[in-house]
Amino acid sequence: MSLRLGHGGAKRVPWSMLDYMRRRFHVPPEELEALWCFEFPATVKDKKVRRFRIYSPARAQQEKVRITEVADLDKHHYMLLFEGYIDTEGKVYVADRRIPPHTMRR
């Protein structure tokens, strides 16, 4: 089974978010480079933003989970690693949604 990266609207995570995650959560660069996301418009505190839901295609393939749209991350919540947004001024906010391996339940 081959995984088609970017399928279903997923794309690479913007550099500004990767940099934020590297600094804030100390995620190694090689892990960051493997992450993909779904991006969509939203509103946060009455401000228009670009929201991101971030996952690992390699991990999804390993778990034999198909992630082709943002709703798949709701179905398989343990695949969601980070989520956040970039506002119109370019400010980044990212929340860590990783589940510790010993507490992971499907």
Residue 103 lies in a domain: no
What Rg, from alpha-carbon coordinates, does the chain have? 14
Task: Report d(CA 39, CA 31) in Å as an integer.
Answer: 19
Q: CB of 9 within 8 A of CB of 38?
A: yes
Instruction: Report how many domains make up the chain.
Output: 1
Q: Is 23 helix (H, G, I), strand (E, B) or coil?
A: helix
Residue 11 lies in a domain: yes
Residue 91 lies in a domain: yes
pLDDT tens profile 7-35: 568 999 999 999 999 999 999 999 999 99
Residue 66 lies in a domain: yes
pLDDT tens profile 23-75: 999 999 999 999 999 999 999 999 999 999 999 999 999 999 999 999 999 99
Residue 105 lies in a domain: no
The encoded tokens of residue 55 equal: 């996952």
Residue 14 lies in a domain: yes
- Residue 87 pLDDT greater than 60, yes or no: yes
Residue 1 lies in a domain: no
C-alpha torsion 11→14→19→20, nearest 10: -100
Q: Which residue range(s) make up the domain with 39?
A: 7-98
Residue 24 lies in a domain: yes
